[in-house]
Structure 1
């Protein structure tokens, strides 16, 4: 391999016009499905894609961004976490519902509904959904709010929101499927709040 070839590889250029971003996504889906979010390594993904690890930051801003892109979901976890944590901790549950509904409704359920349909029959999809809901969103949220039993609370919150997504966009239970965000936030938010910061006994 010449010095020119080596330099090109480091910059993320791929032979025969292959797409660096697409190669990273393909490698990431395999890595996340096999190892989960916590176990996946950016360097391993980049190596499988044949590019430098710096390309992950260049294209996706880091591991979180790569994971979300690999799932093909219209959700930026950093924005959701920032919005939820900005206000009163005692009303975080309502803000979670409003933010998720706003994101999901903007795409009509879209890729989230497609992933939910795959969960029951594809273990890789199920694992990636678990990793996204628990590790990327709610584990970070419960640790930031500082309650006891953060792992259990993260799973409880995840179960509530996955269930809501399933009922609203896949099963389409009416009137839950057509209710506005304020109605759902008022109805479901208090339960999420108990999962986040209330007594679990």
Structure 2
């Protein structure tokens, strides 16, 4: 009886609080998704994580190394390598007209981290390598291409529309009917995917 009573009244253990390093990494995800590499400062990341800047330096060494840690974490939890080909296009176009930005390691829109820092001279090398690793190369393999032209074309289209919508805020890419606009982009991507078959059989459309 005593054992049973003890079993029934013992509270469930609370989940462990995230470590300081985990809080720093989550804060860095949010900052790098909302700001470019150049605009992101370690003091802001430290404040969001509830630690001092010196601790961030001790944990990661520098802003560049922290950025690389964010990209490395993204490699473990994002990309399209594990996604079936038929699900990739809907996945990549789902957030294209969203005004929301990535907020942490488990957020599916962390492509924003790459987009934000594409043109930064320090970050562009790692960003390009990660874009290739997470998106272009897996797409190339799933499409069965010898080169990555179709995969790169798809990512160029999606990134370009995202930049024009979120950063330039052009009216033509800020549609009221986002479902219809997303469907148009979806069909454009599907046309790129189908283009290889048409190129190999040019008489098919005659």
Going by fraction, where is helix more abundant, 1 or 2?
Answer: 1
- Per the normalisation by structure 2, the TM-score is 0.49
- Per the normalisation by structure 1, the TM-score is 0.50
Instruction: Work out which of the two has the higher radius of gyration on C-alpha atoms and give 1 or 2.
Output: 2
